[in-house]
Each structure stands twice: as structure tokens, then as C-alpha cells.
Structure 1
């Protein structure tokens, strides 16, 4: 169970949408979270990798280096 507080204007929009479509507010909140959660996960994971790269903990390779290592270079 999760309880959240929304600004009144967002609550009103959500209520109107639910009433106009016959769906519940919970349905739309769940849909919005599911849609956005993957983007947030990608963003935060990318930021972690960027920190590791900048601190020297993780190495990067150019496309040419990867192609050469895999024997794909011309």
C-alpha cells in the first residue's frame, strides 16, 4: 500500500480523467509510475556509471578499439 499527496491541481486533473474514462485514479497513478519508473532507473544507473568513469573506476573504449578487439576492423 502506498499513499501519496498530490498538489490540488494534479488531484483535480486525475479525478476528471478518471470520471471521464470510467477508470480509477489508482489505475492512472499506477500507469504513470510504471511508464516513468524505467526511465528513472535508466537515468540513475547511467549517472552511477558516469561517476565511476569520471573517477577512473571504470574504463571506456572507442568504437574503433572495440571493433579491433573483436576482429571487426577494416
Structure 2
């Protein structure tokens, strides 16, 4: 199990959202954390790909390759 400390503003915002929607604070926290982890993984992957110049295409090159 994971415990997370939030500042009072974030905690209050999360509680208001949960109360208005009928979902639990845990559901929103879990969803937000998972989404953020996915975003971080996407950023890491994009950063790695940018290190490989052969994998970088201009917009025009991409359009040509996709026959657009």
C-alpha cells in the first residue's frame, strides 16, 4: 500500500471532486498517478528517440513516407 501526503489545498480539491462525482478520493488519486506515470514514460521514450538522429523526420518527410 502507498501513502501520499498532499498539501491542504490539493486534498480539499480532491475531496470536493470526489464528493461531487460520487467517486472516491482513492479512485481519483489512483487515476491521476497512473496517468502521470504514463506521461513520464512517454517523455522518457521521446527523449530516447531524440538521441537517434536517424529517427527524426521533418513534417514534409513524414508526409511523403505516409503518402499524405
Pair in the same fold by TM > 0.5: yes
What count of residue pairs does the alignment treat as equivalent? Answer: 59
Shift of the alpha carbon at 1:34?
A: 2.2
Shift of the alpha carbon at 1:17?
A: 1.0
2:39 corresponds to: 39
Two-structure CA RMSD over aligned residues (Å): 2.2
Shift of the alpha carbon at 1:24?
A: 0.9
1:60 corresponds to: 54
Residue 6 in structure 1 maps to residue 6 in structure 2: yes
What 5-or-longer segments of structure 1 have no aligned partner?
Answer: 68-74
Q: Which structure's CA Rg is the greater one? A: 1
What 5-or-longer segments of structure 2 have no aligned partner?
Answer: none
Query: Distance in 2 between the 1:14 and 1:6 partners?
Result: 10
Q: 1:38-71: per-residue Cα shift (whole Å, max 9, x none)?
A: 2110101222343xx3xxxx451555xxx6xxxx
Query: Distance in 1 between the 2:53 and 2:34 partners?
Result: 32
Q: TM-score, normalised by structure 1?
A: 0.61
